[in-house]
Amino acid sequence: MQPLDTWYRIRNESDVDSPALLVFPDRIQQNIVLLKSMIDDPRRLRPHVKTHKTKELTRLQLEAGISRFKCATVAEAVMLGECEAPDVLMAYPLYGPKLSRFVSLTKRFPKTNFSAIVDHPDAARALADAAMQAGVIIDVFVDLNIGMGRTGIQPGAAAMALYQQCGQSEGLAIQGFHAYDGQVHERDIEKRKVICTQNFEQVKRMAEQVQAAGFAKPRIVIGGSPSFPIYATYPDVECSPGTFILWDKGYADGLPDQPFLPAAVLLTRIVSMPAANRLCVDLGHKAVAAENPLERRVYFLNAPDLKPISQSEEHLVLEAPVGHAWKTGDVLYGLPQHICPTVALYDSLTVVEHGAYAGRWTVASRNRS
Helix and strand numbers (H, E) in the chain are 10, 16
Contacts of 182 (CB under 8 A, 6+ apart): 148, 150, 224
pLDDT band at 5 (very low <50, low <70, confident <90, very high): low
d(CA 144, CA 108): 29
Q: Which of 278, 244, 284, 235 is nearest to 264 (CA)?
A: 244
pLDDT higher than 70, residue 1: no
Hey, what CATH topology would domain 13-22+263-366 get?
Lyase, Ornithine Decarboxylase; Chain A, domain 1 (2.40.37)
Element (H, E) at 116: strand 113-118
pLDDT band at 368 (very low <50, low <70, confident <90, very high): confident
Which ranges in the chain are annotated with CATH 3.20.20.10? 26-243
26-243 maps to which CATH number?
Answer: 3.20.20.10
Rounded average pLDDT over 105-111: 96
Bridge partners of 179, per DSSP, are 144, 222
pLDDT value, residue 149: 94
Residue 110 preceded by cis peptide, ω within 30:
no
Q: For 242-259, what is each residue's pLDDT tens digit?
A: 999 999 999 999 999 999
pLDDT value, residue 369: 78
Q: Which of 49, 56, 90 is nearest to 242 (CA)?
A: 49
Q: For 54-94, what is each residue's pLDDT tens digit?
A: 999 999 999 999 999 999 999 999 999 999 999 999 999 99
Q: What pTM does this model have? A: 0.95
Cβ burial of 169 (10 Å; 0-12, 13-18, 19+) is buried
